[in-house]
Amino acid sequence: MDLSVYFKSVLDQDQCAVVICNLQHEIIYMNPAAIARYENRGGKELLGKSLLGCHNDKSVEMIHKVINWFLENTEHNRIYTFRNEKENKDVYMIALRDENKTLIGYYEKHEYRNIETEKLYSPLIV
């Protein structure tokens, strides 16, 4: 069974921006939330371009340091990179590895800390 369709659907349904890069820092996937979030920077046109071009020199330096840390040990897979108080979220870089635990890329994970305001099982329960 090819699970890639299922995995893509999981990412496509995520309300948080998901941008996946290969080890050359090329953006190889953006979910719909990421395309919308980064519309002012080019949105879908960012696909195939370098993520490094979207960051300042200090951020580029840190991205390289994180990649080197990921490469040091197969257990190095998640690192806290940023706190956004305005949006009440924490941001992490996550290593992407193949079945042999070889580093193949990375993505940025946004974790919002807001309490859900929707009612349980809404709109099923009135």
What pLDDT digit, counting tens, does each position of 3-32 carry?
Answer: 899 999 999 999 999 999 999 999 999 999
In total, how many domains does the chain have? Answer: 1
Residue 95: band (very low, low, confident or very high) from pLDDT cuts 50, 70, 90: very high
Domain for residue 125, yes or no?
no
Q: In b/e form, how buried is each residue of 81-102, taking b as 16+ CB within 10 angstroms?
A: eeeeeeeebebbbbbbeeeeee
Residue 48: band (very low, low, confident or very high) from pLDDT cuts 50, 70, 90: very high
Name the average pLDDT for the chain: 95
Give the structural domain span for 77: 4-112
Domain for residue 124, yes or no?
no
CATH number at residue 15: 3.30.450.20
Residue 107: band (very low, low, confident or very high) from pLDDT cuts 50, 70, 90: very high
Closest CA to 68 of 92, 103, 97: 103
Domain for residue 126, yes or no?
no
Domain for residue 117, yes or no?
no
Domain for residue 120, yes or no?
no
